[in-house]
Structure 1
């Protein structure tokens, strides 16, 4: 198979040769033994909300953990057959946030809808992406990904942030104008929010066409634009280089003191005579091979590893069946969790702002957390980026405008006028991520920075009481 594949092949063909598919019973055994966390599946029927305490919330969290692990397992198996891009897009499509937002919209919890969607974008961009960079950086010195596709994703996120900031700027401009009252802004903000939402849906449709058809080769796992992943240097090599540099420094110091500083050639240095086994720059009577030979050997080993056959643990039918069942169970468990958190908020102790921006997105993105981090450790950062940034794009360009349009159909006054503090936080988060991914490489420190920024935002939202901007809108 050639390196450059056709548009459809880049999405539908596996990155490596596949072994024979397992039987039904072998696939079922693989699902049962996929992780020891499967024992936590017993918490699913126990997560039904019953009281206004922390117990139902904790049980729902424990029930989602094994489901997220199974979803990561199914997505990883699917990526062997369809490639990392299409598998990441499918995983980003299985969003629990959409179900949670519809449930909240039916109950006229408009502020909870908006805060949970903004929180989903923040969670994917900072927490999930940061965990991917950090976990992968512990195993690899630098992990590479496609620069062009990542910058395109950053541009799409920037457009979505502008769409969220413009209604807030519109509201602020009219509020400062003494000739306008807040009561006069209801219909204009509703109208512009619905119009902008329709445009965002067209942008999302164009993005899908661009990714899946017109420029599918750009998202190929083997595309030339993807940066190379670099492993950590062996510890023995670092020790050898340290000894060599130390010896060179001593020789230079002696020559400078005696005034006999001479030009040394790479043929025979003091470090070579000291560190070579024979003391004469040879290894067993043969010259020491140059460093390029070892690099060429590493490249050849990497090429053989890329061509190594992968053995799937699930058949295609069982893989798709597992994806469907786990997605439904996650949606049901997340709905029970929402009801449990509502009772907890009514009991006091946790603000609705913190629940919407921090708690709900963490629960809704549990599957993305496990999937993205698991595949990042396996050096499938393209899939991790597709899950983390792809989910953020899907929330910003599809779920948010779709919910606004659906609310329009249902007669609910939901707008793109988000809380000003939430809008600013979203803008700053997208800005930071743009700086982090612009070089096409990642390391553990960049991931650590993103995770710490998310923790900082969590602390601020714990104390932030929120603002009521829907007072001038029609009643829900």
Structure 2
């Protein structure tokens, strides 16, 4: 064993880090894991890796227009466009972070942040009392993924290949959960339809209720029905979250082989190191929350001044912004004949919204005192039901073609037209 000399790094620890280095350098050494990209390379990829990021110029315009109280259409448009690149960056940060965390944590991370824009916009609208915007934007996200994105993907893939195949068992498992989520929205609508109108209650029921001094007039009866609706919605939300956790285990652990394509590629190399991806995810989430808040705040005035139905804004416009990056990715995968990935993006994203985001917002509303229930208008419930029904019919054979894509897109356009005149 040699004795130390004047050149021996006495301050070197067991990990080989020289403590004579500047403090900032040592901090970077700690954060930079072995074999991972540098911070500079990470953020260069993050901000310059997609043409979507050119639209980040609209983020400061959104902030300026809001604080200077410009015209409602400008405030809405700037915030609307600003969320497109932010949604893309959220997806990029989530994907990069997932590559280093393993399958289970990756699945949980994608479940949490895969629909971060919908969650942020939903919470922002809920805190401002815009319950209808919350409901229509969530319903619109489901319909957008199931009909528009999946339809365009089938259409694009069908124009390049005469027929595309995908794993039917996994697709059926996903669509079955989607059907369950849809049914949980039908039940509150049926309850409301049967119980909300006092005139529809028979005399014997009214006599019984009055005999036990529960109600004295119709308004009290309506209050009871409203309370029942809240109980149904909150209980269902908790159960749906439980089912969603079970679905994650089913997808990631017990039956993971069903969700893997036969020609699945090798493990993708990360373009960002773990810490930089985490900071990027946190920062973009904060910026998105501000832009979402500005967007929601401008909806009311924009709808009134320019005669745009609020339902159309919530159901058609907002989901297109929130899912812009997913739209491009799904179609690109279809053009590569990777239909398992396309189904996973479209149906999987719809499941995240219906079985995770919607129940989560119901619970957030419960905690914050903003009543959000699973009761959607009868027309909206029927629209969702027939959409899920059509998707189930089309994917049950494990094959897709351009005609199936055309059917899905056509139904989406019919629904958009119906909500424009609603």
**Is this a same-fold pair by TM over 0.5?**
yes
Q: Secondary structure at the match of 2:72?
A: coil
Larger Rg: 1
1:342 lines up with 2:283 in the alignment: no
Residue ranges of structure 1 left out of the alignment (5+ in a row): 1-19, 223-302, 465-476
1:111 lines up with 2:132 in the alignment: yes
Give the TM-score normalised by structure 1. Answer: 0.67
Which residue, out of 192, 201, 213, partners 1:177? 201
Note the C-alpha offset of 1:130.
1.8
- The aligned residue for residue 393 of structure 1 is 351
Q: Is contact 1:23-1:315 (8 Å) kept?
A: yes
CA separation in 2, counterparts of 1:178 and 1:413? 29
CA separation in 1, counterparts of 2:98 and 2:162? 24
- The aligned residue for residue 58 of structure 1 is 77
Note the C-alpha offset of 1:217.
2.5
Q: Provide the aligned C-alpha RMSD in A.
A: 3.1
Q: Is contact 2:165-2:400 (8 Å) kept?
A: yes
CA separation in 1, counterparts of 2:266 and 2:131? 52
Deviations 1:99-132 (A, max 9, x none): 2222222222222222222122111111122222
Counterparts in 2 of 1:118-133, with a 5 A limit? 118-133=139-154
Note the C-alpha offset of 1:152.
0.8
Note the C-alpha offset of 1:74.
5.2
CA separation in 2, counterparts of 1:415 and 1:309? 42
1:45 lines up with 2:60 in the alignment: yes
Moved more, 314-323 or 158-167: 314-323
Shift of the 39–197 alpha-carbon distance from structure 1 to 2, 3 Å rule, reads closer
Shift of the 36–110 alpha-carbon distance from structure 1 to 2, 3 Å rule, reads closer
Q: Secondary structure at the match of 1:413?
A: coil
Deviations 1:167-217 (A, max 9, x none): 221222234334465624222222222222222222112112222222223
Comparing both structures, which one devotes a greater share of its residues to helix? 2
Greater RCO, 1 or 2 (C-alpha within 8 Å, sep 6+): 1
Which residue, out of 257, 282, 297, partners 1:217? 257
Shift of the 59–21 alpha-carbon distance from structure 1 to 2, 3 Å rule, reads same
Q: Is contact 2:62-2:75 (8 Å) kept?
A: yes
1:330 lines up with 2:354 in the alignment: no
Shift of the 28–432 alpha-carbon distance from structure 1 to 2, 3 Å rule, reads same
Q: Is contact 1:119-1:357 (8 Å) kept?
A: yes
Deviations 1:424-473 (A, max 9, x none): 00000000111111122223332232122211111100111xxxxxxxxx
Note the C-alpha offset of 1:323.
4.4
1:187 lines up with 2:202 in the alignment: no
Deviations 1:79-103 (A, max 9, x none): 8778999868744532222222222
CA separation in 2, counterparts of 1:412 and 1:374? 40
Q: Secondary structure at the match of 1:412?
A: coil
CA separation in 1, counterparts of 2:47 and 2:373? 45
Q: Secondary structure at the match of 1:402?
A: helix
Give the TM-score normalised by structure 2. Answer: 0.75
Deviations 1:323-362 (A, max 9, x none): 4444443343233222222331242411222122222222
Which residue, out of 400, 405, 415, partners 1:442? 400
Shift of the 31–185 alpha-carbon distance from structure 1 to 2, 3 Å rule, reads closer
Counterparts in 2 of 1:227-238, with a 5 A limit? none
Note the C-alpha offset of 1:44.
0.7
Q: Secondary structure at the match of 1:61?
A: helix
Q: Secondary structure at the match of 1:185?
A: helix
- The aligned residue for residue 143 of structure 1 is 164
Residue ranges of structure 2 left out of the alignment (5+ in a row): 1-34, 207-217
- The aligned residue for residue 389 of structure 2 is 431
CA separation in 2, counterparts of 1:357 and 1:152? 26
CA separation in 2, counterparts of 1:326 and 1:140? 38
CA separation in 2, counterparts of 1:35 and 1:400? 30
1:160 lines up with 2:181 in the alignment: yes
1:458 lines up with 2:416 in the alignment: yes
CA separation in 2, counterparts of 1:81 and 1:413? 39
Which residue, out of 30, 33, 56, partners 2:45? 30
Q: How many residues get paired?
A: 363
CA separation in 1, counterparts of 2:307 and 2:158? 37
1:352 lines up with 2:278 in the alignment: no
CA separation in 2, counterparts of 1:323 and 1:140? 37
Shift of the 314–421 alpha-carbon distance from structure 1 to 2, 3 Å rule, reads same
- The aligned residue for residue 203 of structure 1 is 243
Q: Is contact 2:107-2:248 (8 Å) kept?
A: no
